[in-house]
Structure 1
Amino acid sequence: MRLRLLLLALGTFAVGTDTMVMAGILGRIAGDLGVSVPAAGQLVTVFALSYALLAPLLAAATARWPRRRLLLAALAVFTAANALSALAPDYPTLLATRVLAAAGAALYTPNASAAATALVPPERRGRALATVLGGMTAATALGVPLGTYVGRADWRATMWLVTALGAVALLGLAAFLRELPASAQAAGLRERLAPLRDKRVLAAAATTFAFFLSFQSVYIYLGTAVHPATGGDADKLSTILLVTGVASVAGSWLGGHVVDRWGVRKVLLVGSVISVVFFAALPWLGLTMPGALVYALAVPLAGWSISVAQPHRLASLRPADAPLLLSLNSSALYLGTAAGGGAGSLAIALLGERWFPLGASALAVVALWLAAATTRPAAKAPAAAGTARMRTEAVPAAESRSRQESSPSGV
């Protein structure tokens, strides 16, 4: 049982590494393929946008497939796509392989979570999910700096690393994972999008999009932002990314605790204020290694706390629809990542390589405003309205707090 969960987690580790490692090798890709760094950054945009758009479509199309067959097919597509990325002779071909890799990733990650819950009794499902989704967190802490280090001389070596990780997970699951039938109540595309009719859900998804738009517009080009500190040294950049990864894991853990203690609204506001300040300070912090490391510690702590608070917020809105709402949150996250690649590229073109994080600071202000406006506590009813009316308004608020305390918190 434990081995199968670890193999599922290895698959999410490979997906997470593939999603985020481009930030450490953009310069190598740009130099090898003869494109600019902002153009290379669009590889992240294409991957994230493809993931966001394909996830609900593929989920609906394969809803009744046996889970084992679907997991193996998804990993096969993902692994083959990364091998093709490693072999890509030019930029257009590499772009096409990133779309294919995103399709495999979009199929694998949610179904790996579903498989984890089917492998264990109900009382152990939380721990099983934590194990599998922990692969994504571990990718931030270990996969990205490792991939950057491996690709310090040739970015293709990083793609081969991701290919190897996917292949080991594929072979392991093929050997040890038993058949897992499809859900009898699989939701179609219309059902998956139905919660967007709820204005609260739409506002929460928009907030996720805005936060990740600002965060990723810097993270994707972090190597450029801290170039004065690293001098182009891949080992120094790997160190910064390692600190970023460790801080991300700490931020995820911290987010789960402070949401329970402070509530979603305060976590969103505090986290976004920290982000605004440090994005604005990065043009100066990025001049030295100590300053870059301070940034690498502070922003992931804030960002990953927010990434826990947002799904917590969505799941508490309509607990019965929590799986669908969390799927929508993931799509909003990847759409924000995709748009962040374009926003960062535009900011570099307009503001230059040193000052482009100021654009992220402005975007974070928008995210802060959106979070404040859409999580504002409901106004208390006037006393003249009567006790019955006050009681009617108080009950949903109490239920909301109860749902927030009992709903899952994670990404």
Structure 2
Amino acid sequence: MDRRLLMLALGMFAMGTDNFVVAGILPGVAASLHTTPSLAGQMVTVYALSYAILAPVMAAVAGAWPRKLLLVTALGIFVVGNAITALATDLNTVLFSRALAGLGAAMFSPTALGVATLLADPERRGRALATVTAGLAGATALGAPIGTFIGGFGSWRITLWFVALLGLIAMIGIGAMLRSVPQPARITLRERLTPLRDIRVALTLLTSLFAFGGFLMVYTYAGLVLDRVTGGDERVLAGMLLVWGCAATVGNMLAGRLVDRFHSRTIINAGLCVGILNFCALPWTSAYMVTAAAALIIWGLVGWGLIVPQQHRLVKIAPPMAPLLLALNNTATYGGLACSGVLGGVVLLFIDRQYLSVVGAGLIAIALVFAEAAHLCTARLSMRMRPMPS
């Protein structure tokens, strides 16, 4: 295994851990900063929104930068952002630092995937991408639970120092191991947004936006939703998140195999329907350890199992524009996460936390409508493009 790819994967692991660990430390953050969990939950919103908006912007603005310089700078910004969060004593400083960390992630993640393809031979590019992406998947299975577990023994600030340390190690490793990397062709921001004019692409991206907005709304406030089985113990919550993360990793791998055998529409619609039913039942299943664990497994399988068929659908729409479409889908996913933090925080002001999943189910239902609309538009266009019989 190329050690340079492992350093890129470690950077992705740090980014993913930083994104998902907040759910586990949210009650501690709120208590420490003397604020409500709803307001503290905006840590997730600011980070995700910063990433979603700035990823295509920074890719265009910094397109001419040397790849090594861009990666090291991105990780430096990420580390500083997390260090400021760990030292902050008020919510405003925390939110500013989360935006700064999100900027670092927006600069690093797309660049790391691009560099992975440049470092590998053409016949091994798929493995190189899988290696780097495994860092992000591993963050959901290991990074977030480990970070939550660490916070349970000390303070949520220790968790943020842990994330900063991961980013620092990746920055040093990339700085030492990565030498010259060929510069990719520069793509302007206007060119990156051109695919949005295709109604099929727009509907597919809206599917990702609403689906992950629904799925991740509950994750953002998992410490509140699962408090009946965790009793407020962050170490128990870490174990629950580990179950969810392992299921998410399996779901992502399983979807990759299923999409080669079945139509993406079947997998997407089935996953969304199961997700809706699971979230509608969560107010009752989350009251007991066994049923809560089962609900987390189903949630992880169908939630993260949605990513691959969504990517497959986009690539099938316009194969030559696949890199741009996948980048936009990533932005839509993080946009959904950002919106979920805001909406979830507002919803918690009016309803009991146990029923937050029902609102998430509503968002997933909207995603199902968009998914079917995308399929119908694709099928209609295919019918028009068929040659008329002579």
For normalisation by structure 2, the TM-score amounts to: 0.96
Kept in 2: contact 1:214–1:361 (CA 8 A): yes
Residue in structure 1 matched with residue 133 of structure 2 by the alignment = 133
* Greater Rg by CA: 1
Question: Which 4+ runs in 1 deviate beyond 4 A?
Answer: 379-382
Hey, what's the Cα distance between the residues in 2 that align with 1:388 and 1:169?
54
- 1:351 is paired with a residue whose SS is coil
8 Å contact from structure 2 (residues 149, 238) kept in 1: yes
Unaligned ranges ≥5, structure 2:
none
What is the match of residue 277 of structure 1?
Answer: 277
Which letter maps to 2:183?
A: A
Which secondary structure does the structure 2 equivalent of 1:262 belong to? coil
Residue 179 (structure 2) pairs with residue 178 (structure 1): yes
SS at match of 2:85: helix
Work out the CA distance in 1 between the residues paired with 2:61 and 2:127: 29
Q: CA–CA distance in 1 between the matches of 2:296 and 2:245?
A: 9
TM-aligned CA distance change 1:390 to 1:297, over 3 Å: farther
SS in 1 for 2:133: helix
After TM superposition, give the deviation of residue 309 of structure 1 in Å.
Answer: 1.1
Matched residues in 2 for 1:373 and 1:171: separation? 47
Shift of 1:373: 2.2
Contact between 2:203 and 2:373, CA under 8 Å: does it hold in 1? no
2-structure distance, mates of 1:369, 1:55: 27
Q: How many angstroms apart in 2 are the aligned matches of 1:381 and 1:314? A: 15
Which is worse superposed, 101-110 or 115-124? Answer: 115-124
CA distance in 1, matches of 2:93, 2:329: 30
Number of the residue aligned with 1:105: 105
1:36 aligned onto 2:36:
yes
Give the structure-1-normalised TM-score. Answer: 0.91
Residues 271 and 305 in structure 2, CA contact (< 8 A), matched pair in contact too: yes
Task: Report whether the alignment pairs 1:53 with 2:53.
Answer: yes
Match of 2:167 in 1: 166
In 2, the alpha carbon distance for the partners of 1:134 and 1:220 equals: 22
State whether residues 45 and 340 of structure 2, in contact with CA within 8 Å, keep that contact through their aligned partners in structure 1: yes
What does 1:311-350 align with in structure 2 at a 5 Å threshold? Answer: 311-350=311-350
Matches within 5 A, 1:380-391: 388-389=387-388
* Partner-residue secondary structure (3-state), 1:375: helix
- Could you tell me which residue of structure 2 aligns to residue 234 of structure 1? 234
**1:65 touches 1:181 (CA, 8 Å); kept in 2?**
no
Q: Which residue of 2 aligns with 1:225?
A: 225
Shift in Å, 1:156: 0.3
CA shift at 1:213, angstroms?
A: 1.1
Give the number of equivalent residue pairs: 387
- In the alignment, the residues of structure 2 paired with residue 2 and residue 379 of structure 1 have an alpha-carbon distance, to the nearest angstrom, of 45
SS at match of 1:64: coil
Tell me the percent identity.
43
Matching of residue 208 in structure 1 with residue 183 in structure 2? no
1:355 counterpart = 2:372: no
Tell me the distance in 2 between the aligned counterparts of 1:78 and 1:284.
Answer: 39
Of the structure 1 ranges 139-148 and 210-219, higher mean CA displacement relative to structure 2 is found in 210-219
Residue by residue over 1:10-63, the C-alpha shift from the partner in whole angstroms, topping out at 9 and shown as x without a partner, is 000000100111110100000000111111111101111111111111111100
- Aligned-pair Cα RMSD in Å: 1.7
In 1, Cα distance between equivalents of 2:345 and 2:51: 20
User: Counterpart of 1:351 in structure 2: which amino acid?
Assistant: I
Q: Does 1:257 align with 2:257?
A: yes
Counting only pairs closer than 5 Å after superposition, residues 15-26 of structure 1 correspond to structure 2 as 15-26=15-26
Distance in structure 2 (CA, Å) of the matches to 1:155 and 1:380:
52
The residue number in structure 1 matching 2:157 is: 156
Instruction: Tell me if structure 1 keeps the 8 A contact 2:204–2:370.
Output: no
Return 5+ residue gaps in structure 1 as ranges: 392-411
CA contact (8 A) 2:344 2:356 kept: yes
Code of the aligned partner of 2:108: Y
**Secondary structure in 1 aligned to 2:86?**
helix
Contact kept, 8 Å, 1:381 with 1:390, in 2: the verdict is: no
